[in-house]
Amino acid sequence: MLNCDWAKSLTRYDCQTLTGLDGLPCLEIGTPFSMPDGAAINIYITQAGESHIKVSDNADTLFHFGGLGLDVWQAARLNSLRDLLSRNKMQLGPKGEAFILAGSAHAANGFALAVTGLLALSSWAGDQLRIEAQPADIVAEIEPYVIARNPTAEFKRHPKVRGASSSEHMFDLRHGNDLIDIIAPDARSTGSAMRKAGDVQNGPFSDHLSPLIIVDDRLDAEKAMNEIGILGSVVRAMPASRLMQLAH
């Protein structure tokens, strides 16, 4: 089961097949995310028994933090990191491996949670080291949760559709029949999304596809809900937190 074709049901991040120390296949997923110093965040997927997979960082994260000068092995810090990971159903192994076990039928959910958990670790380290955080790639962060809604549905990045005005519009993602934009909770993004959705919905070219706007509410839920209320007069809209909660 573990091969990069199968992994397309979890992610469209880069994938390569490796051989683990036990001689069994291991998938290395290269994410678009990085640690506070710019080092890449990779995720590893291995089989865990007949009906589960393990999604982990292969202990890379904590050992990398140590190389940056953080003593992550202090008991208080380990407890803080365990608590941080547990919010995304992840665990911290005795050798520093951050991982989640997921049933094969829920592998996409497990992968999405692992992405969020490792990003939380990276954010924690950045705070400890007082490194200024880079702007979040909200589309890349939410993408695994979109796929997890239905891992077998058609998925495409940057789909293009003509609207009633004959203008061509690009969305962030297509998943099934949904044309998805993932936006920040601000008036400019809301206005742009409403104009695009209205043009597409009133045109004959969408081929039964329907716009869906996902608003990032993780930092300012009240503002996001205000923008969702405005969007709702024209197009389907939902908060990112609701989508992410489906994976828990």
User: DSSP string of the chain?
Assistant: --SHHHHTTT--SEEEEEE-TTSSEEEEEEEEEE-TTS-EEEEEEEE-SSSEEEEE-TTHHHHHHHHTT--TTSHHHHHHHHHHHHTTT-EE-TTS-EEEEEEGGGHHHHHHHHHHHHHHHHHHHHHHHTPPPPPP-HHHHHHHHHHHH-TTS-EEES-EEE-TTS-EEE-SEEETTEEEEEE-SSHHHHHHHHHHHHHHHTSS-STT-EEEEEE--SS-HHHHHHHHHHHTTTSEEEEHHHHHHTT-
Residue that is written with structure tokens 């007069």 in the block: 233
Residue among 69, 41, 227, 5 nearest 137 (CA): 41
For position 133, what pLDDT does the model report? 83
Domain range for 167 is: 150-245
Q: 67 and 21, same structural domain?
A: yes
144 located within any domain: no
**Residues 200, 240 within the same domain:** yes
Number of structural domains in the chain? 2
Over residues 156-170, the mean pLDDT reads: 94
- Domain membership of residue 118 (yes or no) is yes
Domain termination residue (choose one: 74, 100, 129):
129
Determine the average pLDDT of the residues in 129-152.
93
Last residue of a domain, one of 129, 163, 192: 129
Determine, yes or no, domain membership for 95. Answer: yes
- 98 pLDDT above the threshold of 70: yes
Answer yes or no: is 65 within a domain.
yes
Q: What is the pTM of this model?
A: 0.93
Say how far apart CA 206 and CA 179 lie, in whole Å.
Answer: 9
Rounded Cα gap, residues 43 and 118, in angstroms: 9
pLDDT of residue 21: 62
**Does 161 lie in the same domain as 82?**
no
Label residue 41 by pLDDT band (50, 70, 90).
very high
Q: Is residue 138 part of a domain?
A: no
Instruction: State residue 248's pLDDT score.
Output: 67
Regarding whether 110 and 162 lie in a shared domain, the answer is no
Are residues 16 and 75 both part of a single domain? yes
Same domain, 91 and 197: no
Other CB atoms within 10 A of residue 1 CB = 10
Residue after which a domain boundary falls, among 78, 99, 129:
129
Residue 41 lies inside a defined structural domain of this protein: yes
Q: Verify that 91 and 26 share a domain, yes or no.
A: yes
CA angle 60, 63, 69 (to 5 degrees): 140
Q: Are residues 17 and 91 in the same domain?
A: yes
Which pLDDT does position 20 carry in this prediction? Answer: 73
Tokens 């670790």 — which residue?
121
Distance CA(248)–CA(245), nearest Å, equals 5
- Give a yes or no: residue 134 inside a domain: no
- 137 has a pLDDT exceeding 80: yes
Mean pLDDT of the chain: 93
Residues 119 and 16 in one domain: yes
50-65 pLDDT, tens per residue?
899 999 999 999 999 9
Per-residue pLDDT tens digits for 65-83: 999 999 999 999 999 999 9
Express each pLDDT in 7-36 by its tens digit: 988 999 999 999 876 677 899 999 999 999
Reply yes or no on whether the pLDDT at 247 is more than 80.
no
Higher pLDDT, 136 or 223: 223
CATH of the domain at 56: 3.30.1460
Q: What is the pLDDT of residues 190-246, one digit of tens each?
A: 999 999 999 999 888 777 899 999 999 999 999 999 999 999 999 999 999 999 997
Half-sphere exposure of 11 (CA within 13 A, CB side): 30
Please tell me the distance from the alpha carbon of residue 195 to that of residue 5, in angstroms, as a whole number. 37
Q: What is the pLDDT, as a whole number, of residue 19?
A: 84
From the list 139, 197, 189, 187, the residue with the least C-alpha distance to 167 is 197
Same domain for 122 and 39, yes or no, is yes
The answer as to whether 93 is a domain residue is yes
CB 163 within 8 A of CB 202: yes
pLDDT in tens, 167-176: 999 999 999 9
- Residue 35 token pair: 């640690």
DSSP assignments along 30-73, one per residue: EEEEE-TTS-EEEEEEEE-SSSEEEEE-TTHHHHHHHHTT--TT
